[in-house]
Amino acid sequence: MPLRATGKAAEQLSRLEGTGVAVRGRLRRRYYSRDNQPHWGQVEIWVDECRPIQLQEDEHG
């Protein structure tokens, strides 16, 4: 699921790229329009905070 973050949370996510993370935030739907007609966008997690986690060996193959 796509993650969206700003400020400190965005900096943390950038530093933790490629590692397992736990996030806390809100699910939000984004919509857009085409030719003045509303269309479904996507559901995203708007991240408030994140932290690294240890993955079990079999989880990341």
Q: pLDDT tens per residue, the chain (61 residues)? A: 889 999 999 999 999 988 899 999 999 988 877 788 877 788 999 999 999 998 776 655 5
Tokens of 51: 């932290």
**Is 59 within a domain?**
no
pLDDT value of position 4 = 92
Q: For residue 24, what are the domain limits?
A: 3-54
Amino acid at 59: E
Q: Is residue 32 part of a domain?
A: yes
Q: What is the pTM of this model?
A: 0.66
Number of domains in the chain: 1
- Which long-range contacts link 27-35 to residues 24+ away (Cβ below 8 Å)? 28/4
In a domain, 61, yes or no: no
Predicted confidence at residue 7, as pLDDT, reads 94
In a domain, 39, yes or no: yes
Determine, yes or no, domain membership for 30.
Answer: yes
Query: Would residue 27 count as lying in a domain?
Result: yes
Q: Are 23 and 50 spatial neighbours (Cβ–Cβ below 8 Å)?
A: yes
Among the listed residues 40, 51, 46, 57, the one whose alpha carbon sits nearest the alpha carbon of residue 3: 46
pLDDT at 57: 67
Q: Give pLDDT, residue 60.
A: 55
